[in-house]
Amino acid sequence: MSEINFARYRAYVDARVEANNAMIALLAGSRLAAHNLQLHNGSPHQLPGLFPAVKDIDRFNLLPDRASQLLLDADAHLAAVAIPYALAVYEAFVKDAITMLEDAGYAVSHARGALNAGRMHTTFFDAAGVAEPADVIPLFHVLRCLRNAQIHHAGQVTQEVTEALDSLTQLQRERWEQLTMLPLDSVIKDRKLHFTIGHLIAAFAVTKEAARRINEVLRQKLSRETWAKFAVADFAESAEHPRNSRQWKKGLLGFARFHYLGGLNLSSAELELAARASGFWTATSW
């Protein structure tokens, strides 16, 4: 699937990558720290005494053995943090995509709750007149319900969670288990949520794929004129050459070829019309 890398989508991708890298860095850091602490197994000295030069080490005032075990068990805590993080970044993008449809003249629902996480996909796809992707959106809802249970119910398994899990088809279940590398019901243990690194991976993978599907719908539903206007405004925001110059025009054409792909292939004439309509190009000749 070829994506259109318009400004808001690039911002979403950058935020998702940054969040993903931060979580993986914390995970790797916890394991590296646990590995290094093995050198101090059995020591009677607490961490501040062993590593006095480490900033804020006094907040982790434990013996090495206990600290090492906590660090090795950090996966569950990081996943519990990462799922809300990944979903928050993604949900902001979906809401902006809904606004893009509305600005383009599509009838968007303004019913109460139409933009909340549970209904935003229905709002977007109904406005576009396209069916929700059955292979990815239900997995998002599983993540959403897990997030809600973690945040609002202290990790207790809710009816919302069990219903979301039970509603998955066999294919959806297989996809979830492929992403998490675990059986579906492993996320529940003693009526509590039990997160692993697999759930962290699933959170970023599912939202990445769902965003790509939304990108594709926008490509299909927004007019070429609209995309040309987006490309011009996007380029003009960071263009270094003066308007109406040969370099500005050349830069715009290259920018559109690089970022506004997805089968668009915006022509020079289309970009000229958009640039003139937007007031970014006022010279007589193009």
Interval 230-265: pLDDT, tens: 999 999 999 999 999 999 999 999 999 999 987 899
CA distance 182 to 7: 36
Separation CA 11–CA 13 (nearest Å):
6
Assess whether pLDDT exceeds 90 at residue 72: no
Place of tokens 């860095």: 25
From the list 174, 175, 167, 114, the residue with the least C-alpha distance to 141 is 167
Planar angle of CA 94, 228, 106, nearest 5 degrees: 45
Strand partners, 193: 188
How far lies 252's CA from each of 8, 11, 154, 185, in Å? 18, 19, 51, 51
Mean pLDDT over residues 266-286, rounded? 97
Question: Is the separation of the CB atoms in 124 and 98 below 8 Å?
Answer: yes
Position 63 scores a pLDDT of: 93
Taking only the tens place, the pLDDT of each residue in 7-63 is 999 999 999 999 999 999 999 999 999 999 988 989 999 999 999 999 999 998 999
User: In the predicted model, what is the mean pLDDT of the chain?
Assistant: 95
Residues linked to residue 189 through DSSP beta bridges, in sequence order: 192
| Angle, in degrees to the nearest 10, between helices 74-103 and 64-72 | 40
Judged against a pLDDT cut of 80, whether residue 118 lies above it is answered with: yes
In percent, how much of the chain has pLDDT > 90? 90
Contact 117, 98 (CB under 8 A): no
